[in-house]
């Protein structure tokens, strides 16, 4: 390999965006087909949704494990975990207030 020859890779097709100064990889106007296919599959299953709600720690683990590959299902797991945590805390506070002996 001659050191004066440019390296052929996908990043040689980059242009710099004049507004932001960031380099952008142009895909010649083609929509990312794989991204649309993954969005249809990017749904959290019913079992994992129930688990995320009832056991918020499991929801957090599901969130971090799915975040890089399935962001929508990861967000769903995180939201359900927070809702489960909040409702669990509210039930705990109400139960303690109702059973407290003054």
Q: What's the pLDDT tens digit per position in 49-77?
A: 999 999 999 999 999 999 999 999 999 99
Measure the CA–CA gap between 46 and 91, rounded to whole angstroms.
Answer: 23
Task: Report how far apart the first and last C-alpha atoms of the chain are (Å, whole number).
Answer: 85
Say what the pTM is.
0.60
Rg (C-alpha) for the chain, rounded Å, is 24
Query: How is residue 6 annotated by DSSP?
Result: P
pLDDT tens digits, one per residue of 72-93: 999 999 999 999 999 999 999 9
The answer to whether residue 34 scores a pLDDT higher than 70 is: no
pLDDT of residue 80: 96
Measure the CA–CA gap between 43 and 62, rounded to whole angstroms.
Answer: 12
pLDDT of residue 30: 52
Q: Are 70 and 38 in contact (CB under 8 A)?
A: yes
Measure the CA–CA gap between 97 and 89, rounded to whole angstroms.
Answer: 12
């Amino acid at each position: 390999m001659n050191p004066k020859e440019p390296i052929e890779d996908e990043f040689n097709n980059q242009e710099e965006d004049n507004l932001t100064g960031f380099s952008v990889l142009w895909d010649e106007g083609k929509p990312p087909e794989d991204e649309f296919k993954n969005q249809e599959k990017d749904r959290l299953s019913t079992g994992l949704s129930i688990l995320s709600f009832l056991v918020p720690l499991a929801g957090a683990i599901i969130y971090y494990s799915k975040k890089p590959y399935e962001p929508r299902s990861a967000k769903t797991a995180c939201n359900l975990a927070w809702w489960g945590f909040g409702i669990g805390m509210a039930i705990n506070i109400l139960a303690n207030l109702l059973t407290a002996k003054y």
